[in-house]
Amino acid sequence: MEELHRAYLTNLHDQFGEVMDIADIFKREWISIPHIYHVPFYCYAYSFGQLMVLALYQQYKEQGQAFIPKYLKILAYGGSASPNQILSEAGIDISSPDFWRGGFHVLETMIDELEAIG
């Protein structure tokens, strides 16, 4: 157990660096985060969702106003079906690498803009 505590505390220090002082008591914080051990891979849903939204945004940038009906159809589903089913019914193939590359393109553009500022 102590090894897990140390590993978590080391991760916190790596994550926050010099920005925060992290008290030793936080080494046990991981115990209170249920998705670490109750719902494996839970956090990956955030990355998936973010990249999917960026890929959809790229399609909007490419298609303009013609994309809006597709997007409204996607939103109308809410959480009632899987992402694959929802997007395929809107004419979007999420198994296509090009779809996901669109999301990465948006990220690259954001990074380029940030680098140009600083």
Question: With a cut of 70, which residues of the chain have pLDDT below it?
Answer: none
pLDDT at 43 (0 to 100)? 78
Tokens encoding 54? 């960026």
pTM for the complete prediction? 0.70
pLDDT at 76 (0 to 100)? 96
Residue 13, domain extent: 2-36
pLDDT at 10 (0 to 100)? 95
Q: Which residues fall within 8 angstroms of residue 24, CB to CB, at 6 or more apart?
A: 9
Same domain? 53 vs 17: no
Same domain? 13 vs 60: no
Same domain? 28 vs 52: no
Same domain? 85 vs 67: yes
pLDDT at 17 (0 to 100)? 87
Same domain? 27 vs 57: no
Q: Is 114 helix (H, G, I), strand (E, B) or coil?
A: helix
Question: Where does 17-96 have alpha helices with state H?
Answer: 44-63, 68-77, 83-89
Same domain? 57 vs 99: yes
pLDDT at 41 (0 to 100)? 75
Same domain? 51 vs 102: yes
Q: What is the mean pLDDT of the chain?
A: 93
Closest CA to 63 of 91, 82, 29, 26: 91
User: Using DSSP, how many helices (H) and how many strands (E) does the chain show?
Assistant: 5, 0
Same domain? 21 vs 78: no
The shares of helix, strand and coil residues in the chain, as percent rounded to the nearest 5, are 75, 0, 25
Same domain? 59 vs 92: yes
What's the structural domain count of the chain? 2
pLDDT at 8 (0 to 100)? 93
Tell me what percent of the residues of the chain surpass a pLDDT of 90.
81
Q: Which residues fall within 8 angstroms of residue 93, CB to CB, at 6 or more apart?
A: 87, 99
pLDDT at 54 (0 to 100)? 98
